[in-house]
Amino acid sequence: MKRLKLVLFDMDGVLTDFQNSWTVLHEYFGTNNEKSLHQFLRGEIDDREFIRRDIALWLKKRSRIHISEIEKAVSHVTASEDARVFMRFLSANNIKGAIITGGVDIFANRIGKELGIHIVRANGFILDDEGYLTGEGVVNVPLRHKDIVARKIREEMNVTKAECVAIGDSFIDVPMFKEASFGIAVRAQDDTVRDAARYSISNLVDAIPILCETFS
């Protein structure tokens, strides 16, 4: 495994059994962002406006929302067991991991801590001085441009594409694949990610023999 130094991960549905951490929050507040999602996918709104509209839906349910309530809403979601097994394999081989997700940063940081992943890039919220949501979001990972974030992480770590693998589950992860030697689709949600990946697997643990064979 000497030639593999870094694995880039999407989070939702890859390191967890939940498909979307934003959906977890909508379920908690009893809201639905389907309209905004379709507008985003059609390119009618950008990432920042997408987050802004999500928060606006929640604020219709609550006059004020403290960040501690967001933490409570996602507290029941943990890393999947197959992710834990896979990360033990990476750790044993001195391979680093990095999370690149459009998901919620509070959630992503906790999943990273659980798995021993110290590099986490995710989106979040702007808070007032008392820790309440202002209605604005922070975009650290543009959903359509994960490649930009992936490239920056590689450069900061002095890792080449040949020394890197990317793992995701949807078309949003395809640009990230282009910043690695190849991509692996786990529980692929669509044909786009399946076609872009070199391998398509149903369990993250199944990536272990692939990496062993490729980088032996």
Model pLDDT for residues 128-145, shown as the tens digit of each residue:
999 999 999 999 999 999
Per DSSP, the three-state class of 177 is helix
pLDDT tens-digit map of 35-85: 999 999 899 999 999 999 999 999 999 889 999 999 999 888 899 999 999
**Structural domain includes residue 67:** no
Task: Say how far apart CA 115 and CA 111 lie, in whole Å.
Answer: 6
**Structural domain includes residue 61:** no
Residue 196 pLDDT > 90: yes
Could you tell me the two tokens for 202? 């149903």
Q: Domain of 93? A: 6-22+75-214
**Structural domain includes residue 40:** no
Task: Say how far apart CA 209 and CA 216 lie, in whole Å.
Answer: 10
Give the per-residue pLDDT at 1.
Answer: 60
Structural domains of the chain, count? 1
> Which pLDDT band, with edges at 50, 70 and 90, does 18 fall under?
confident
> Which pLDDT band, with edges at 50, 70 and 90, does 19 fall under?
confident
Closest CA to 10 of 170, 196, 207: 170
Question: In whole angstroms, how large is the CA radius of gyration of the chain?
Answer: 17
Q: Which residues contact 1 (CB under 8 A, 6 or more apart)?
A: 93, 95, 211, 212, 215, 216
**Structural domain includes residue 140:** yes
pLDDT tens-digit map of 78-128: 999 999 999 999 999 999 999 999 999 999 999 999 999 999 999 999 999
**Structural domain includes residue 195:** yes
> Which pLDDT band, with edges at 50, 70 and 90, does 154 fall under?
very high
Task: Say how far apart CA 191 and CA 169 lie, in whole Å.
Answer: 10
- CATH of residue 10's domain is 3.40.50.1000
Closest CA to 94 of 19, 1, 208: 1
Give the per-residue pLDDT at 165.
Answer: 98
**Structural domain includes residue 46:** no
Task: Say how far apart CA 3 and CA 211 lie, in whole Å.
Answer: 10
**Structural domain includes residue 11:** yes
Q: Provide the percentage of residues in the chain whose pLDDT is more than 90.
A: 92
**Structural domain includes residue 177:** yes
Give the per-residue pLDDT at 161.
Answer: 96
